[in-house]
Amino acid sequence: DGGITQSPKYLFRKEGQNVTLSCEQNLNHDAMYWYRQDPGQGLRLIYYSQIVNDFQKGDIAEGYSVSREKKESFPLTVTSAQKNPTAFYLCASSMGQAVDTEAFFGQGTRLTVV
Amino acid sequence: GEDVEQSLFLSVREGDSSVINCTYTDSSSTYLYWYKQEPGAGLQLLTYIFSNMDMKQDQRLTVLLNKKDKHLSLRIADTQTGDSAIYFCAERDTGRRALTFGSGTRLQVQP
A45–B98: do the CB atoms touch at under 8 Å?
yes
- Looking at residue B39, its pLDDT comes to 87
Q: Would the pLDDT of B1 be above 60?
A: no
pLDDT at residue number A53: 95
Alpha-carbon distance of A45 to A43, in angstroms, equals: 7
B98: pLDDT strictly greater than 90:
no
Asked if the Cβ–Cβ distance from A90 to B40 is below 8 Å, we say no
Phi, psi dihedral angles at B106 (to 5 degrees): -85, 115
Per DSSP, the three-state class of B82 is: helix
**B43 contacts A100? CB cut-off 8 A:** no
Asked whether residue B7 carries a pLDDT value surpassing 70, the answer given is yes
**Residue in B with minimal Cα distance to A33:** B98
- Identify the pLDDT of residue A100: 60
Does residue B74 carry a pLDDT above 90?
Answer: yes
Cα–Cα dist B103/A2, whole Å: 29
Which residues 62-81 of B are in CB contact (within 8 Å) with A?
none
| CB pair distance less than 8 Å for A43 and B30 | no
pLDDT per residue as tens digits for the range A44-96: 999 999 999 999 999 999 999 999 999 999 999 999 989 899 999 999 998 87
Burial label for B59, CB within 10 Å (0-12, 13-18, 19+), is exposed
pLDDT tier for residue B79 given thresholds of 50, 70 and 90:
very high
Query: What pLDDT does residue A92 have?
Result: 94
Closest residue to B99, CB basis, from A40, A50, A103 = A103
Calpha distance B45→B26 (Å, rounded)? 21
Please tell me which residue of chain A has the smallest CA distance to B105. Answer: A40
Per-residue pLDDT of B59-72, as tens digits, reads 999 999 998 899 99
The secondary structure of B48-64 as a DSSP string is EEETT-SEEEETTEEEE
Q: Which chain A positions have a beta carbon within 8 Å of B42's beta carbon?
A: 6, 90, 105-108
Among B56, B92, B97, B101, most A C-beta atoms within 10 A, so best to mutate, is B97
